[in-house]
């Protein structure tokens, strides 16, 4: 029974070796000579001109959350699209598959219209 898990153990050990050995070698072999220029903050080649802990507008987060939601909704369409031929060729599943996807896309459209009506997609 345990011999079935041996390839998984080997895979995990090889992964750890390939992941950790270069980091350890870089830490041991690389020269460590920090100076004020290396330790200073870097922002696109210029000296930083604002505090890194400034407040962001909530709209950034709202757009990010909306992107994740709609992106996941589209990701749920992929399995349905991969078995679409099977759904169409099976008589009892034909109407069920159509109605289920219609409901799914309907919920997606209602959410999109709601976000649009609330002004979540407007950028000023």
Q: Does residue 13 carry a pLDDT above 90? A: yes
Report pTM: 0.48
Over range 109-116, report the average pLDDT. Answer: 86
Over residues 48-105, the pLDDT tens digits come to: 666 667 777 777 788 888 888 878 888 888 888 888 888 888 888 888 888 888 898 8
What is residue 8's predicted lDDT score, i.e. its pLDDT? 94
Q: Does residue 25 carry a pLDDT above 90? A: yes
Strand partners, 43: 46
* Bigger pLDDT: 13 vs 52: 13
Q: Distance between CA atoms of 75 and 80, rounded to whole angstroms?
A: 10
What does the DSSP assignment read for 68-123? HHHHHHHHHHHHHHHTHHHHHHSHHHHHHHHHHHHHHHHHHHHHHHHHHHTTTT--
Q: Does residue 40 carry a pLDDT above 80? A: no
- Contact status, residue 121 vs residue 64, Cβ threshold 8 Å: no
What is residue 52's predicted lDDT score, i.e. its pLDDT? 64
- Percent of the chain whose pLDDT exceeds 90: 21
What is residue 43's predicted lDDT score, i.e. its pLDDT? 63
Q: Hey, is 43 helix, strand or coil?
A: strand
User: Which residues, at least 6 apart from 63, have a Cβ–Cβ distance to it below 8 Å?
Assistant: 120, 121
């Amino acid at each position: 029974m345990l011999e079935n898990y041996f390839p998984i153990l080997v895979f995990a050990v090889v992964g750890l070796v390939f992941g950790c050995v270069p980091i350890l070698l870089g830490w041991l072999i690389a020269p460590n000579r920090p100076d004020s220029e290396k330790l200073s903050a870097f922002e696109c080649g210029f000296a930083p001109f604002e505090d890194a802990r400034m407040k962001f507008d909530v709209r950034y987060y709202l757009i990010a959350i909306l992107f994740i939601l709609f992106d996941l909704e589209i990701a749920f369409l992929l399995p349905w699209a991969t078995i679409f031929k099977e759904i169409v060729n099976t008589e009892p599943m034909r109407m069920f598959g159509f109605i289920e996807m219609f409901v799914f896309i309907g919920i997606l459209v209602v959410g999109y219209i709601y976000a649009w009506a609330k002004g979540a997609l407007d950028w000023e």
